[in-house]
Structure 1
Amino acid sequence: MTDPYDSSPTDVRARLMVAIAGWAVLVAAVLVAVPLAFADRLPDPLATHWGSSDGPDGSMPFTAFMILLIGMWAVLAVIGLGVAARRRNLARRVTRAWFCAGLAWAGGFMVTTQAVTIGANLDRGHWTRAEDVGWQVAVVLAAPIALGALGWLAGRPGPDVPAASAETGPLIDLDPGKRPVWVSTTTARWAAGLALVSLAAAVVIAGVAVTGRFPGGWGGVVPLALVGVIGTVLSSVSVRVVPEALTVSVGPLRWPSRRVRLERVERAWVEERYPAQVGGWGFRGLPGRATIMIRGGECLVVRYVSGGELAITVDDAATGAALVNALVARRHSAAGR
């Protein structure tokens, strides 16, 4: 019999691409077809938010509701296809399983959210008379989790490429008469573009909402502005190494920043990491083993004396690692005299 876990990485990636594309089309078709099928039985605007008393307290135009869900799903689907297309992204079984679980969960959440919203508004005449939601919330929570579990199982077949063990990091010679400094900055154009578009959209929607022509628009201003701020912070990362410490700063203002004294560092090396391997973009992981991920590829990885690790996606990481190792070695040599 053929072991389902023994397929080649190329075959697995091809099957994943087909499966993700099929799932993307299926969810998109549901998000478009269902509201259109019931359009003549729905009020416009729709009730889209329920307060603590379970009664509706927020609304959104029918068209805006459709565009919001379809647009969010389109972005997720495109990102999913892009991640799956990279050969190294899903080489590990655990990464592949959680990636598929996340995509399945996201599609299920979109569909169940739409279904509950349409069901509550169906034949109600006006959004203020929409049905209260109670047990439906449990469906929105449970159904995506069940789909996520199926996605996790679907992502497990195929080879499992073990994580490469960290090799001894590079080392360079230091001139004892000079103070070495290394600075490198990496910019994520996708984050900067997303931030610009989100902030512009927030301003436009707020302007239209002020005129009263888009009464439900205020509900989208805060999320868009938040995405804009987060995108700005994630648009760049800068690393600076001096004899005393390594400093990591994010965003165009180089804030917030994190300073790691070199006396806490054991060694450094270069490693390739991708968003799918660490759980996405941004600051990923837990204290003691974290990754600052703004683009896939070359990372500067620093291991602490305590055993923890910090990885930063930055250009020319080899030079930074070499300097860190040289400074650590010089510190140890000085301490041993």
Structure 2
Amino acid sequence: MTSGVTGPVPRSRWWLTGATVGVTAVLAGLPWALRDRLPARPATHWSGGGAPDGSLPLWAACLVPAGVWLLTVLATSVRPRRSGATAHPWRAMALAPTGAVLVGAQVCVVRANLDRTDWHQARQPVLGVVLIGAFAAVAAVAAWRFTPRPAAAPAAAPTLEVPEGARLVWFSRTANPWLQLLAAVAGLVTVVALVALAVGLADPAGLWPVCAVAAVTSLTGAVFSSVQAKVSEAGLEVSFGPLGWPVRRWSPAAIETARAERRLPSQVGGWGYRISGLGTTVMLRAGDCLVIRPRGRRADFAVSVDDAERGAALLNTLRTRLPTD
């Protein structure tokens, strides 16, 4: 009893491959194609008054924007070979405006430096900056509007054959070692900062913000780096962290349906406690998730735990045992 989105994988990659190649070609190729009409060091940055205050060699003006674009594509491509046929709206919404801004900026840079003998002669294209913002907004809206959404969950819900009178409990726990490492490192930074403050080794005005950020990061990482799900006659209980707090609970009567579904960080917007078009997902590792639809809600709640199908089946069985009016 498995669920998920299936289909021809290549379709989900065509737009990403085309966008990657096309934008890279424009960013790197446009200045190089017009190199005979550009100064040896094109102006690449302008001050508030419109006069340029920075430049790059022509090869860097070609490769730096292209490198930023490729790094962005790489950062948003989380395990693309297992992402299924469905394109991910969050990825499209990140890449579309980023590509629009980079291409628009490159066009403005080339236009400002065109036929100039020295980069100091280039002037900031004010209208171009406005158009870049508009172009990026249009690209983001288009990406959201035309990117396919994940298919609806199947109607069939798994169940278990439980003998009458039997009482079953299902447990599953997942931890993310990288988030736990982040919490530990941030905790160490907090301790070092507090010691430095206590013995007067650093300026408190500059060290307190570092200490506060590290402490919040450590606490958040410790709480949300592990999760435990429990299904019993009381319903579903999802607890976080080594102390099992905070806790979210749903009684069997409060759950409309339960299922197991394969989800990836690329589908829900990353790791941790994520809110996306799929609802709320506690994403600590890619793979099967226990997904419930709370009664009266239009959004799902999912938690990435092992043996999710058995937990969903037990929940559905408990639902069928509820007394009817």
* TM norm structure 1: 0.59
Partner Cα separation in structure 1 for residue 139 and residue 294 of structure 2: 36
Correspondence for 2:263: 273
Query: What secondary structure is seen at the aligned counterpart in 1 of 2:206?
Result: coil
The amino acid across from 1:180 in the alignment is L
Residues 32-75 of structure 1: CA deviation (Å, up to 9, x unaligned) = xx9xxxxxxxxxxxxxxxxxxxxxxxxxxxxxxxxxxxxxx9xx
Q: Is the 8 A contact 1:16 1:84 kept in 2?
A: no
The amino acid across from 1:303 in the alignment is R
Correspondence for 1:320: 311
Q: Is the 8 A contact 1:92 1:163 kept in 2?
A: no
The amino acid across from 2:169 in the alignment is V
Q: Is the 8 A contact 1:96 1:156 kept in 2?
A: no
CA RMSD between the two structures: 4.2
Correspondence for 1:310: 301
Query: What secondary structure is seen at the aligned counterpart in 2 of 1:268?
Result: strand
Correspondence for 2:106: none
Query: Structure 1 266/215 Cα, relative in aligned 2: closer, same or farther at 3 Å?
Result: closer
Correspondence for 1:51: none
Query: What secondary structure is seen at the aligned counterpart in 2 of 1:314?
Result: coil
Correspondence for 1:335: 324
* Larger Rg computed on CA atoms: 2
Residues 248-295 of structure 1: CA deviation (Å, up to 9, x unaligned) = 101111000011111111221111223332333333338x94222223
Deviation at residue 90 of structure 1 after TM alignment: 8.8
Structure 1 unaligned residues grouped into runs of 5+: 1-6, 23-33, 35-72, 108-141
Indicate whether 1:8 and 2:3 are aligned. no
Query: Structure 1 294/99 Cα, relative in aligned 2: closer, same or farther at 3 Å?
Result: farther
Paired residue total: 244
Query: What secondary structure is seen at the aligned counterpart in 2 of 1:255?
Result: coil
Residues 84-103 of structure 1: CA deviation (Å, up to 9, x unaligned) = 64541894252322333697
The amino acid across from 2:78 in the alignment is V
Query: What secondary structure is seen at the aligned counterpart in 2 of 1:177?
Result: coil
Q: Percent identity?
A: 33
The amino acid across from 2:229 in the alignment is V
Q: Is the 8 A contact 2:290 2:308 kept in 1?
A: yes
Correspondences of 1:46-195 after superposition (within 5 Å): 80-81=75-76, 83=78, 85=80, 87-88=82-83, 91-92=86-87, 94-100=89-95, 149=137, 152=140, 160=148, 162-195=150-183
Correspondence for 1:201: 189
Deviation at residue 186 of structure 1 after TM alignment: 0.8
Q: Is the 8 A contact 1:233 1:251 kept in 2?
A: yes
Partner Cα separation in structure 1 for residue 17 and residue 173 of structure 2: 35
* TM norm structure 2: 0.60
Partner Cα separation in structure 2 for residue 168 and residue 206 of structure 1: 55
The amino acid across from 1:9 in the alignment is S
Correspondence for 1:250: 240
